[in-house]
Amino acid sequence: MKKTIAILTAGGDCPGINAVIRAVAKTAINDHGMDVVGIEDGFLGLIEGRWRQLGYEDVSDIITRGGTILGTSNKSDPFGFVVDGDVEHPERVDVSDTVIKNFERIGASSLIAIGGDGTLSISEKLRGKGLPVIGIPKTIDNDVSCTDYTFGFDSAVATATEAIDKIHTTAQSHHRVMIIEVMGRYVGWLALCSGTAGGGDVILIPEIPYDIGIVCNRLVERGKRGKRFTIVVVSEGAKESGGELVVKKVVKDSHDRLRLGGIAEVLAAEVEKRTGLETRVTVLGHLQRGGTPTAFDRVLATRFGREAATLACQSSTGVMVALKCGDIVTVPIKDAVAELKKVPRDHHLIATAESVGMSFGV
């Protein structure tokens, strides 16, 4: 009998998702003669019973497009689906059985789930209930374990670096301290890579709590050396030593309820108070998730998609495709979501940044 595979995209969007959808569908159709069904809006589509057939033409000419043609949602955890209540006391119900039943209605032999740690964690729990799932790691944060890179990360670094480059010139012109806040949640890969590429003078990441006194001293020292401007790149999850995360808001119906943001404003206020230096803030926000994927991400997404479709044909389950030393490999999903991939303190890029004079506030 002709096999059918299903595919969904969940969590935050990023450049490269459509490249994966294209690669999965075209490989399934060309190499294995399988039918492909696209589930709309992530797990919400499986909860509400919304999906559609994906033909060859549906996935043509989408490799350059950002976003996802299937839609996505980061507010649809089947094991804690919010039906009522306020932010502090949301009423959650387990609708995972509904997900399983709707998947059985599709008649698919495999579900390919594209997402970050939240999506993959949900996928692993559904696998425990018998759903045959294959994961593809997607996030601009690059925080999924067991893979060197997630697709979407390189594109976000390119976007953030370009923004830092543009801010650099206005910082020089007005002799200001410019603080650029980038995404990354609880890890600092995005800030570290874009800050290093963009020539940031100070880079603040969650893995290295900063000392505000040391940060301010660095700004003042630059002024004494004739440097009349400073570029500070700060991850949204960075915090002062002994301090707390800066939370922008709480979202009741999300897998991760905390929405970080605002650390740049907090930092700017403290810098101006302590140094008197004119300081401005730029929050890049969702700009980092949009736009055309880089060539690296297009290639990586295509390789991931092809491998996932091949694994689906072989009836593999409970595995995630990953990049290891240039090769595409498979790892158990449970290992990939066991912990976030954080920046090690002894990472070579930290040492490199420090060698060229960048400060991490310590």
- Which residues form the catalytic set? 141
Q: CA 67, CA 32: separation in Å to the nearest integer? A: 27
Q: CA 141, CA 240: separation in Å to the nearest integer? A: 21
Q: Cα angle at 72 between 68 and 73, to 5 degrees?
A: 160
Q: What residue spans of 198-325 are helical by DSSP H?
A: 212-224, 263-275, 295-313
Burial class (CB in 10 A: 0-12, 13-18, 19+), 15: buried
Query: In this structure, is the dihedral angle defined by the CA atoms of residues 145, 151, 152 and 156, taken in order, positive or negative?
Result: positive
Q: CA 200, CA 360: separation in Å to the nearest integer? A: 10
Q: What are phi and psi of 320, to 5 degrees?
A: -120, 140
Q: CA 358, CA 196: separation in Å to the nearest integer? A: 8
